Amino acid sequence: MRYYARKIGFYLVALWAALTLNFLIPRLMPGNPVDILMAKLQQRGGVVDPEARRSYELLLGANTDEPLLSQYFSYLGNMARGDLGVSVSAFPAPVSDVIWQSLPWTIVLVGIATLISFVLGVVLGALVGWRRGTWLDSLVPATTVLSAVPYFWLALILAAIFASALRWFPLLGGYDVSLMPGWNWEFISSAVYYGTLPALTIVISSVGGWLLGMRNMMVSTSSDDYILTAQAKGLREGRIMTRYAARNAVLPSVAGFAISLGFVVSGSIVTEQVFSYPGIGSKLLQAVQNNDYALMQGIFLVITVAVLGANMIVDLLYGVIDPRTRVGN
Amino acid sequence: MTVPTQTSPQPGPATANDVVLTVDRLNVMYQVDNPVHAVKDVSLTLRRGEILGLAGESGCGKTTLAYAINRLHKPPAEVTSGSITFHDRGGRDIDLLALENEELRAFRWSKLSMVFQGAMNALNPVISIRAQLEDVLTTHEPKMSKQQRRERCAEVLRLVGVDPARMNSFPHEFSGGMRQRVMIAMALLLDPQVIIMDEPTTALDVVVQRGILQEILRLRDELGYAVIFITHDLPLLLELSDRIAVMLKGEVVEYATAEQIYRLPAHPYTRRLLDSFPSLTGDRGAFLRTGESSARDHATEPDPTKGKRP
Amino acid sequence: MTTLEVRDLVKDFPVRSGLRRSTLRAVDRVSFTLVPGRTVALVGESGSGKSTVARMIARLERPSSGRIQAVKSDGQGVSDREYRDHVQMVFQDPFASLNPFHSIEHHLARPLKLHGRGGDRAETRRQVEQLLERVNLTPAEDIAQRRPHELSGGQRQRVAIARALAPGAQVVVADEPVSMLDVSIRLGVLNLLARLQREDDLAVLYITHDLATARHFSDDILVMYRGRVVERGPADDVILNPQHPYTQLLASAAPNPDARGRSRFTAPTEAERAAFGQRAYDHNLGSWVTPDGTPTSEGAPGRERVG
Amino acid sequence: MTNLTPLTEIADEGAPRAEATAPTAPAKAPRRSGARSLLPRWSPRLAIGLGLVGAISLFGLIGPFLVGDPNAISNIGLAGPSGEHLLGTTQTGQDVLAQLAHATRGSLQIGLLVGVLATALSALFGIIGGYVGGFVDELFSLLSNVMLVIPGLPLVIVISGFVPAAQRGWWTIALVLAITGWAASARVLRAQTLSLRNRDYVAAARVAGERPWRVVSVEILPNLLPVLASQFVFAVIAAILSEAGLSFLGLGASNSSTLGTMLYFAQNGFALQREAWWWFAPPGLLIALFGCGLSLINFSIDEIINPRLRTATAAKRSARKTTRSTAA
Amino acid sequence: AAGCTGSANNGGGGAGGTDADTLIVYTGQAGDWQINFNPYSPTMLEGPGTIFEPLFYYNNLSDSEPTPRLGTDFSWNEDGTELTISLRSDATWTDGEPFTAADVEFTLDMVAENPTLNSTGYAGDAEAVDDTTVRITFEEPAYMEEAQILGKLFIVPEHIWADLEDPATNVMENPVGTGPFTLGQFTPQAFTLTANPDYYDGEPALKNVRYVALSGNQSGADALSAGTIDWQTGPVPDIANVSENYPGYEAITVPMNQTTLMTCSNAEMGCTGPQTDQAVRQAIYYAIDRTQLNALAFENTSSEISPGFALLERDAEYISDQLPEPTAPMSPDTARSDELLQGAGWTKGGDGIYAKDGERLSLTVKVVAGWTDYITAVDTMAQQLKAAGIELVAQQVSWNEWSDARGRGEYQLLIDSLYQGPAADPYFLYSYFFSSDTTAPVGEVAQPNFARYSDPAVDEALAALKSINPEDTAARQAQFDVIQTRIAEAMPYIPVLTGGTTSEYHAEKFTGWPTLDNLYAIPAVWSRPDQSQIFLNLKPAS
Ligand SMILES: Nc1ncnc2c1ncn2[C@@H]1O[C@H](COP(=O)(O)OP(=O)(O)OP(=O)(O)O)[C@@H](O)[C@H]1O
Ligand SMILES: Nc1ncnc2c1ncn2[C@@H]1O[C@H](COP(=O)(O)OP(=O)(O)OP(=O)(O)O)[C@@H](O)[C@H]1O
Ligand SMILES: [Mg+2]
Ligand SMILES: [Mg+2]
Ligand code: NI
């Protein structure tokens, strides 16, 4: 129990630290969020009237006369109430709407791709590690080369080949825009079809890391005594590989998976940029480019909560898959 | 130091039926850059129900020999020559070195099981004791029902003095001694004819060690398996085993009954080993406290009180 | 000449189990004195607190209570600053106690320098070689340049002993100095330690769980059980005439070729084990005492002595 | 929690234990001495890795002196490779090869600086925290855990926006990448330090009276070198890739030339759509090859850290050499 | 309710295959949509012109008569303080309510009273005279406000908007307007405008317009080559050969905004640096090789520029003949720049760069990271100016910083373009960028006279223009002469080139696009309400 109390304590402190950073960083950035709105107004012609500017500042609460500390406390209060404020770049939409609209896309696309790449990497890594010395070993350098390639570069080239040239996959977007999003087969199959290429690029570029980690752990584990015992017991190869070697070797990868799950959100920025995918990553970019403090803070909150949540789940999961961490008895 | 080994000390007549395992002029090499000849021309016979002690200092090839017998050696280790024959209960002789994959797998554990040097680590840390025990049964006795399996596991655990109620525990929940008992229980599962024990108690407390040794002896009496017991603790072997083979740099330099080795060690190395264990209750005298050279001097001096030297 | 007095040493470790936080008393009111020229052996089963005593003496661990005082021959106490000039330790595992990264010379030259015995470079080197020669590692120049992994276990342990002597220590704590070594070389290392002790009149604390070497190597033996000293006295008295049931148990568990097939050993029940720690026997006084050394009038607890 | 085995195993493994007070060398074949045992073993992989990294570094180091002005504009835009322009020209007629040389240098600078900074930071927090323990450790590991939890890329985006433009250059990005990139290695180092701290030789050094900083720097640090090296290599790869990613988003080292900014300009100049492969492909390939070379080197370092990986390859080699007589 | 709006456009999937009467457009904005059809919101997605209509359409590209939309006619009183507008009577809101003068009065008053909506400071007082007439009164002559009010204020229904809590923050999810289109389905990746069957001018031939969300220029170009969009405004590779590269598509480039090197030119306002020296600014002007620049940085989509900042084609008649040269030289004249610099006391140093009082003639140019054409332009100019002994140091910064620096005058040079007003009249540009009213000392935000240019003569001329009836062209030209000669000499904004705005459109699928011969509206997707004029003109080709 104390273990869990400590864990929860850690998560709370981490959350607080992250929230504070979220608060500080945007405020340290140059420029003023209202400028972006003014620029948009200006684009429609005319000189922006100082009155109009002032009224927008009021509307967005962007007047910086308030002392930082009281801003901080009202910020914490708002966060606690789940009030993330109003997005400047999508004015007057509340930040929560903006995030809510784009988050599912990212979670589904990048989440599933990360999961696939994890499973694939772990399975291949287990195989390669178990049968080291065979031709399978050549998979390792091959996949590490793929993970050393800049992701967007790879993605652009794959998109050029498979979408532009061969036309196997659609080039851009998250679904066939002539369909209305909803839980119907047509839409879902279109979303899957549109998501395939982006997901593929994520899998290709990240599978190598999992593979290598799993392979190395597998090699280490293979020389553990219990593997030898299992062999002496006359167990079948496959059983030894899965239940004895892989079962133990996978533990560090699972911990790594938790962390990487948390980065699903932030890692998706580039993907979404390349494929015009309607996710949270592009919103973050938009927020940064538009000095959209509130949106930035909201997305940071989401990311932090996601990372913390993923870690917490794995902490709990770890107790199940690794009995040694279980407390009690 | 190449003292020709007696291939068969034969302290008693060994009928063909009596012998369960024959190792004949076995050679094992580690084929690394500078090849290591880890086992040289070793010949041993193991009789049913016998405890054969294998003694020798670290690195002399005890483990290598044990692995070779069970065909567990992996490259770079390689059996370069010799033979290992298992004489099955029914009278069938099995050439272990000729076994192919599936036969070998079926042979392992059912006829010859092992308890390893580091038994602490010989159990898979993430699956329960029960699963590890049942694994053996599901593989080797696929026809057994679930109920039967569970009963058999409980039975062997009871044999070694572990409460079967703790079957669902994980290895880390046991003490070292209990883990070692679980390993022994596992070795007994299929009622093997031979158990190889590679330093099964070295890491344990003397009190715990003693308890386990007693258990092994008692079970041997009950179940009648033969044991190859590997350790470098010669006094322990002397107390425990029927015959002892002393190994030095891959060779068996002395192979005789325990009594013989204790009373009349033939090889100087055996004598040195014996000297390395001062007697607990024996005369203290000037044994150690007179300086380094005295130990060696002492080794050549007859000790009238113990009468262990010719 | 330095004497080391250990009085009422207690060490509590915090242990966390579940929600509760409790303390584990690893060492409980242990007192003894290490006198120049004499060896005291500390025996007992695994986890009885032997190493913890050693680590407290070496100041690697802070006692929870009690006192460790080194006294110079003139009767003056050793100050904290000089403490390590006087008290040194030899570790159990020669494979772990030497830094694989550094040469043997480094291992010996550093303590010399730190304790102001080095002098210039050539002088330090000379002293290093001298030390190596004292522990029979010759040719010293050659050995000094090697790295730990180029030495055998016995050689390494000799280096470890030489290192303990380098600052001129008068009190040496040896925590199972040979248990990691091969049987055939154990005695060599122990004999070396004995020789050095005689030559320098060292006070030695020899920690082991091997009763036989404890008896042959030391003058006095303390038997520890679950943090407490349950029996103490001259080596032969303790081994040949053990009074405490725990000592008897230990003795009966030790392998004995003479006892082939007729082991006297019966594993103690938990109740018996619990009773072990309740009182202690002091051969010097010839009577039962409480574990902290106060005499009692009661008789022996637990079972009667077997055999 | 770490999959790394203790470092001393390197020295212990197969070490001769036979007592030999005689001045003879140990019975086994002479082993490589301490410091040298920290060097990776020679293998084709290492050779290829070193070759790639060496060649690319050399290109970045001396290339810029051999090529012309990378910014020189000419009126032959987007020309394919030719004798005059070995790798063709960009949209504005700049020589791609010249740009590549300067960009390689820029990227290497970033990679190197991030590698050094991140490794130093992780060493500071990981090793000190692990060694000192107690409150400091709690604080440091909380800090590194928070840094790990706070998403890196967005933080980089935000911080890089914060640095005043006048000072913004490759080193700012490097700084930002280092600040956000040290946490994971700090955790690994801490775990390693925790295991090293309890080694007897550390205790022995303390008993000898060594001061804490000396224990850390002389007794512990050298044994962490392979881990540090591996972390460093990873940090370099990660830095170069992150910089490229940032640049792709238009948030990179905007005032200096790196492979990332080069790709960014190529991408904005529609290099891919215009099939100007000579402009788009080389920077990406260079990053990939450099990363690949570093990974290959890392394989060898891994073998030092985890000797089991090494025995595996040794076993493999001999398995190929000899036919197994046991199968007969 | 999701399926109801789905018109007959469930046709093809992914790449291509869309209905023949659906126009798919991309505005160039990055990121997906957040619903907002409030025509007064700065972040509005669409609506002006298509859903909500102005009173008249002013074509910014030619000095033609405004096209009637909801208004039919308008007239000024003598002194330009009263504007009377006649409205059409046959318009209805898409919810069936009739459109009346009350709606116009409501809209204008709402804007006047609500500073958040009133971005340009409209200060008139509207009054519905009868159902089809509205009169606006001003306190001073307001000729120059006409285009803004009539062309850029979009009339909203009083019966809905009067009940809005806050018209500034309402996102109008279901916009009700009078326009030719209504909002069809909306998803964050795309929304559709559907032809309004009850439109007073008859249902448009173009049945659907689908706006898609993409992530920027790159994806726009990709989508174009994949044939998934029909019209976009933005660069594509090899602009000159669009019709070959994208069969069925055409491109059109119109000169719109003047690209300039803005200088913080006014030392009295607090500017520092060599660029405060007029000779330096002029030297730069002469040292630029505009032909090369146009080729390398702008793919030849830019065109010549007048140093008096009147657009060469549209404002041809306004270009002053008093200017020493009507257009900036296309090839560099380093002799001229040397002469100018030396005349101002600059001397060439050993490194080939001019210096004065130990200060090198080195200038930093701020450019927005990501504006690649401008980055290339600055790089190119840096090369060109080096030959003339002037050093340019490019400094790429984020848009935030850049606009902050620009507003506060904390820069030496930056590259940006000047924009036009609501109607085809150079007056607007001058009043925005050259008036003392729109500037501020360094450190304070100027809107948008970022160069801190201040010249009483120019101010006077601008004031005069306000009260001159636009019909009186001669009187106006006199003022324009003053302005143009003054600014061409002071050169607070160093003229570079006139930037072209390029759009690519699917000529094979729709007819009726604006062409260079018939520029009836600005052919840019993002230009509102021009886009609605184009939609009204398009017809499916089949
Ligand atoms: N994989 C290997 N490669 C090369 N040599 C090896 C290998 N494994 C063992 N050896 C060598 O083979 C010899 C015999 O080793 P083995 O493990 O059988 O000794 P042992 O008698 O069991 O020692 P211990 O008492 O330490 O367990 C040793 O010299 C050892 O160094
Ligand atoms: N740092 C520590 N934290 C918590 N408990 C500890 C710590 N160090 C030792 N202990 C506990 O204190 C008790 C005594 O340990 P110690 O190492 O002194 O035993 P020992 O007699 O040396 O055993 P061994 O013979 O196995 O070396 C043990 O129960 C051990 O688990
Ligand atoms: Mg062994
Ligand atoms: Mg201990
Ligand atoms: Ni770990």
Mutation target to probe the C interface, by most C beta carbons within 10 A, among B207, B217, B248 is B207
Q: What class is the C2-256+268-289 domain?
A: alpha beta
The 10s digit of each residue's pLDDT in E19-39 is 788 999 998 888 888 899 999
B131 and B173 part of one domain? yes
Q: Which of B274-283, D63-72, E116-125 has the lowest mean pLDDT?
A: B274-283
Mean per-residue pLDDT, A74-87: 83
Q: Number of structural domains, chain B? A: 2
Q: C176 C-alpha vs ligand 4 centroid, how far in Å?
A: 7
Tell me the average pLDDT of chain D.
Answer: 76
Give residue E495's pLDDT.
Answer: 96
Instruction: Find the CB nearest D254 among E237, E238, E369.
Output: E369
Instruction: Please indicate, yes or no, if residue B209 is contained in any of the structural domains.
Output: no
Query: Could you tell me how many CB contacts below 8 A there are between chain A and chain C?
Result: 8
The 10s digit of each residue's pLDDT in D126-147 is 888 888 888 888 888 888 877 8
Task: Tell me the residues surrounding ligand 5 (ion) with CB < 5 Å.
Answer: D 1-2
Q: Please tell me which residue, E235 or A314, carries the higher pLDDT value.
A: E235
Mean per-residue pLDDT, B55-59: 84
Instruction: Please indicate, yes or no, if residue D5 is contained in any of the structural domains.
Output: no
Give residue D328's pLDDT.
Answer: 32
Cα(C131)–Cα(C104) distance, integer angstroms: 11
B139 and B178 part of one domain? yes
Tell me the average pLDDT of chain C.
Answer: 84
User: Which stretches of chain D sit within 8 Å of chain E by CB?
Assistant: 71-73, 75, 77, 91-93, 161, 165-166, 168, 250-251, 254-255, 265, 267-270, 273-274
Give residue A281's pLDDT.
Answer: 83
Give residue A35's pLDDT.
Answer: 76
Please name the residue of chain A whose CA is at the shortest distance from the CA of residue B166.
A329
Contact B262, B308 (CB under 8 A): yes
Give residue E381's pLDDT.
Answer: 93
Give residue E48's pLDDT.
Answer: 92
Q: How far is CA E324 from the centre of its chain?
A: 28
End-to-end CA distance of chain A: 12
Mean per-residue pLDDT, B257-266: 87
Confidence category of residue E81, pLDDT binned at 50, 70, 90: very high
Q: How far is CA E492 from the centre of its chain?
A: 21
Give residue C102's pLDDT.
Answer: 87
Give residue D224's pLDDT.
Answer: 86
Whether the pLDDT of residue A262 is over 70: the answer is: no
Give residue A23's pLDDT.
Answer: 81
Mean per-residue pLDDT, E354-381: 89
Chain A residues with CB-CB distance to C19 below 8 A: 1-2
Mean per-residue pLDDT, E329-345: 94
Angle subtended at Cα D121 by Cα D119 and Cα D125, rounded to the nearest 5 degrees: 115
Cis peptide before D222 (omega within 30 of 0): no
3-state secondary structure of D312: helix
Instruction: Please indicate, yes or no, if residue D180 is contained in any of the structural domains.
Output: yes
User: Does A1 lie at the interface with C, CB-CB under 8 angstroms?
Assistant: yes
C279-293, D245-259, D295-309, E305-319: which has the highest mean pLDDT?
E305-319
Give residue E71's pLDDT.
Answer: 94
Instruction: Please indicate, yes or no, if residue B99 is contained in any of the structural domains.
Output: yes
Q: Please tell me which residue, B245 or D6, carries the higher pLDDT value.
A: B245
Question: Which CATH number fits the domain that encloses residue D94?
Answer: 1.10.3720.10
B36 and B172 part of one domain? no
Cα(A257)–Cα(E350) distance, integer angstroms: 61
Q: The tokens 């002032």 sit on which residue? A: A54
B107 and B52 part of one domain? yes
The 10s digit of each residue's pLDDT in C162-218 is 998 888 888 999 998 888 787 778 888 888 888 888 888 899 999 988 888 888 889
- Say what the alpha-carbon torsion angle E54, E59, E63, E69 is, to the nearest 10 degrees: -30
Pocket test residue of B54, B62, B228, B233 for ligand 1, highest count of atoms within 8 A of CB:
B62
The answer to whether the Cα torsion of D108, D114, D115, D116 is positive or negative is positive
**For residue B133, what are the domain limits?**
117-191
Instruction: Please indicate, yes or no, if residue B181 is contained in any of the structural domains.
Output: yes
Q: Which residue from B74, B82, B83 is spatially nearest to B32, judged by alpha carbons?
A: B74
Confidence category of residue A170, pLDDT binned at 50, 70, 90: confident
Chain D residues with CB-CB distance to B81 below 8 A: 325
The 10s digit of each residue's pLDDT in D174-202 is 888 888 888 888 888 888 888 888 888 88
Q: B58 C-alpha vs ligand 1 centroid, how far in Å?
A: 8
Sheet holding E71-76, edge to edge: E71-76, E82-87, E133-137, E125-130
Mean per-residue pLDDT, C263-287: 77
Tokens of E430: 């001058």
Whether the pLDDT of residue E292 is over 70: the answer is: yes
Angle subtended at Cα A112 by Cα A106 and Cα A116, rounded to the nearest 5 degrees: 145
3-state secondary structure of A222: helix
Give residue E42's pLDDT.
Answer: 85
B228 and B107 part of one domain? yes
Q: B196 C-alpha vs ligand 2 centroid, how far in Å?
A: 32
DSSP state at residue C304: P
The 10s digit of each residue's pLDDT in B182-231 is 988 999 888 899 999 988 887 778 888 888 888 888 888 888 899 999 98
B77 and B139 part of one domain? no
Mean per-residue pLDDT, D9-25: 32
- Say what the alpha-carbon torsion angle D249, D250, D253, D255 is, to the nearest 10 degrees: 170
Pocket test residue of C15, C50, C208 for ligand 2, highest count of atoms within 8 A of CB:
C50
Q: Number of structural domains, chain D? A: 1
Domain limits, chain C: 2-256+268-289
Question: Which residues are E505's β-sheet partners?
Answer: E231, E250
**For residue D121, what are the domain limits?**
58-74+86-304
Whether the pLDDT of residue C305 is over 80: the answer is: no
Cα(D272)–Cα(D13) distance, integer angstroms: 53
Ligand 1 atom nearest to CA at D14: 31
Cα(D15)–Cα(D27) distance, integer angstroms: 9
Cα(D96)–Cα(D88) distance, integer angstroms: 6
The 10s digit of each residue's pLDDT in A24-45 is 776 766 667 777 777 777 776 6
ipTM of this predicted structure: 0.79
Confidence category of residue D168, pLDDT binned at 50, 70, 90: low
Give residue E198's pLDDT.
Answer: 92
Mean per-residue pLDDT, E248-262: 92
Confidence category of residue D5, pLDDT binned at 50, 70, 90: very low
Q: Please tell me which residue, C187 or D322, carries the higher pLDDT value.
A: C187
Pocket test residue of C10, C11, C13 for ligand 2, highest count of atoms within 8 A of CB:
C13
Whether the pLDDT of residue B307 is over 50: the answer is: no
Confidence category of residue D68, pLDDT binned at 50, 70, 90: confident
Tell me the average pLDDT of chain A.
Answer: 81
For chain E, the farthest-separated pair of C-alpha atoms sits apart, in whole angstroms, at 78
Tokens of C201: 């009149």
Instruction: Please indicate, yes or no, if residue B257 is contained in any of the structural domains.
Output: yes
Instruction: Find the CB nearest D17 among B31, B58, B73.
Output: B58
Whether the pLDDT of residue C296 is over 50: the answer is: yes
Instruction: Please indicate, yes or no, if residue B207 is contained in any of the structural domains.
Output: no
In our burial notation (b when 16+ CB lie closer than 10 A, e otherwise), range E224-236 reads bbbbbbbbbbbbb
Mean per-residue pLDDT, C286-304: 64
Confidence category of residue D274, pLDDT binned at 50, 70, 90: confident
Query: Could you tell me how many CB contacts below 8 A there are between chain C and chain D?
Result: 122
Cα(E229)–Cα(E227) distance, integer angstroms: 6
Mutation target to probe the D interface, by most D beta carbons within 10 A, among E391, E393, E398, E411 is E398
Q: Which residue from A253, A163, A166 is spatially nearest to A200, judged by alpha carbons?
A: A163
Mean per-residue pLDDT, B159-181: 86
Chains E and B: 3 or more CB pairs within 8 Å of each other: no
Whether the pLDDT of residue D151 is over 70: the answer is: no
Question: Which CATH number fits the domain that encloses residue B233?
Answer: 3.40.50.300
User: Does B211 lie at the interface with C, CB-CB under 8 angstroms?
Assistant: yes
Q: Please tell me which residue, E63 or E102, carries the higher pLDDT value.
A: E102
Give residue E8's pLDDT.
Answer: 34
B85 and B149 part of one domain? no
Mean per-residue pLDDT, E484-503: 94
Q: B120 C-alpha vs ligand 4 centroid, how far in Å?
A: 18
Mean per-residue pLDDT, B261-267: 87
Confidence category of residue A168, pLDDT binned at 50, 70, 90: confident
CATH topology of domain A95-311: MetI-like fold (1.10.3720)
Distance (Å) from the alpha carbon of A288 to chain D's nearest alpha carbon:
7
Give residue A56's pLDDT.
Answer: 81
Mean per-residue pLDDT, D56-73: 85
Q: Which residue from D91, E251, A201, A324 is spatially nearest to B124, judged by alpha carbons?
A: A324
Mean per-residue pLDDT, E212-232: 87
With pLDDT > 70 as the criterion, what percentage of chain C qualifies? 91
Ligand 1 atom nearest to CA at B36: 5
User: Does A328 lie at the interface with C, CB-CB under 8 angstroms?
Assistant: yes
Give residue A46's pLDDT.
Answer: 66
Give residue A225's pLDDT.
Answer: 85
Q: D219 C-alpha vs ligand 5 centroid, how far in Å?
A: 21
